[in-house]
Amino acid sequence: MLFKTNHTDLTPRENTQKGKTTAEEFPSEKLDCFNQNYKMILDAVNDAILVADIQSGIIIDANKKVEDLFGIPREEIIGMHQFQLHPPEKISFYMEKFKEAAALGTQITEKMYIVNKENEYIPVEISAKVSEFQGNDALIGVFRDIRSRLLLEDKLYNSEKLFNSISTATGDMIHLNDLSGNLIYVNTVTESLLGYSQDEIIGKSVKDFIHPNDAKDIGQDIARLLETQKNPPARDIRLLHKNGSTLHVNVKGFLVEARGKKYIGAILRPIDEQLKMNEKIKYYQLNLESLVQKRTISLEKTLSEVQTLNGILPICSHCKKIRDENGYWEQLEMYIRERSKAEFTHCICPDCAKKHYSQLSLEDLDFNT
């Protein structure tokens, strides 16, 4: 915002051109009224305004807002050199910028720093232009305090950085489209799962990537979302991969408002593995009885093949017969054979061979059979 002050000399000069008012002819009351209106307009502006002589750099006028920005009374600022209000180490750079504006006669807009009374550096946006002021060329600058704006920009940057970190780290696809259904953002997970690059996705309709049999349901969900302003329930749909295959996802849609505009967001979670697991569970549920029966038969067969002897067995200390559960005495080998899978083969031990077959030499006997 600039005051272009061509032909606004507050001290009228003599002018011999026809139709121009001379100093003698210019009524003093009109001059006073003009001065008063100029000051009112200058002080009504929300930004600080400084007017500096183009030759000397001395500040020759300022509005009230400079006091809020610099913390210095306007009366003290008027008469200071313009570069007294800037950081010393930046004066050379700023001087070149102002010279450029003076030489070209164009307006410049730059982010710069000023120094207030407390020697604090304050970021400002300066719009400056050379214009005529009270009959002489002057540099008129509008100083806008941008501390709040930079703080908001920093918060926005950090928020975007955090969002990008989250959207990259998650295993879900994140989409954002305008109210017409055109995609304006997708995260990198979407690229890897669907096989498309962002350039191939951005600007396209979301329906281009949804299976035709599911597109109608999504269209109805979006219509209800815009009508009721309430998020629709999540639903399972199929997306189209670049290679022609389908990807099953669970999608949750929601409204997003940013910078005064509304958008439709969606989080899409791949569920192909979950569906496979559900199919297995369903199979086992439907075939549980059959599986249990097969397992029971297998266990019974195994048990039938495994017989063990346990407990205390009454055995004769002389003949070694065993008394069974019915009170009958049986040969040891018969008793064990009937109650297990064990089989017997008869042989003779060395001690018994000496006792019962002493007439035979031990070399003639085979003790292993």
pLDDT tens digits along 334-367: 887 777 777 877 777 888 877 777 776 656 655 5
Question: Residue 1: is its pLDDT beyond 50?
Answer: no
pLDDT given at position 29: 64
Q: Alpha-carbon distance 198 to 184, whole Å?
A: 10
Residue listed under structure tokens 């001087």: 95
The pLDDT tens digits of the residues spanning 285-338 come to 888 878 788 888 887 776 665 556 667 778 888 888 888 888 888 888 888 777
Question: Helices 272-286 and 288-305 meet at what angle, rounded to 10?
Answer: 60
Q: Which of 26-40, 114-128, 335-349 has the highest mean pLDDT?
A: 114-128
Q: Which amino acid is at 108?
A: I
Q: Alpha-carbon distance 90 to 98, whole Å?
A: 12
More confident residue, 221 or 350: 221
The pLDDT tens digits of the residues spanning 167-199 come to 878 889 999 999 989 999 999 999 999 999 999
Please state whether beta strands 108-115 and 329-330 pair in parallel, antiparallel, or not at all (unpaired): unpaired
The model carries a pTM of 0.49
Q: Alpha-carbon distance 235 to 268, whole Å?
A: 10
The pLDDT tens digits of the residues spanning 233-281 come to 999 999 999 999 999 999 999 998 877 889 999 999 999 988 888 888 8
More confident residue, 6 or 348: 348
Q: Rounded to the nearest 10 degrees, how much is the dihedral formed by the CA atoms of 202, 204, 207, 209? A: -60
With left for phi above 0 and alpha for psi between -120 and 50, is residue 73 left, alpha or beta?
Answer: beta
Contact partners, residue 328, CB within 8 Å, separation at least 6: none
pLDDT given at position 11: 43
pLDDT given at position 65: 93
Q: Alpha-carbon distance 254 to 263, whole Å?
A: 9
250 phi/psi in degrees, rounded to 5:
-105, 120
pLDDT given at position 99: 80
**Residue 342 in contact with residue 306, Cβ under 8 Å?**
no
Contact partners, residue 173, CB within 8 Å, separation at least 6: 186, 187, 189, 190, 193, 194, 249, 266, 267, 268, 269, 270
Q: Once rounded to an integer, what is the mean pLDDT over residues 94-99?
A: 84
Q: Alpha-carbon distance 97 to 212, whole Å?
A: 60
**Residue 132 in contact with residue 8, Cβ under 8 Å?**
yes
pLDDT given at position 363: 63
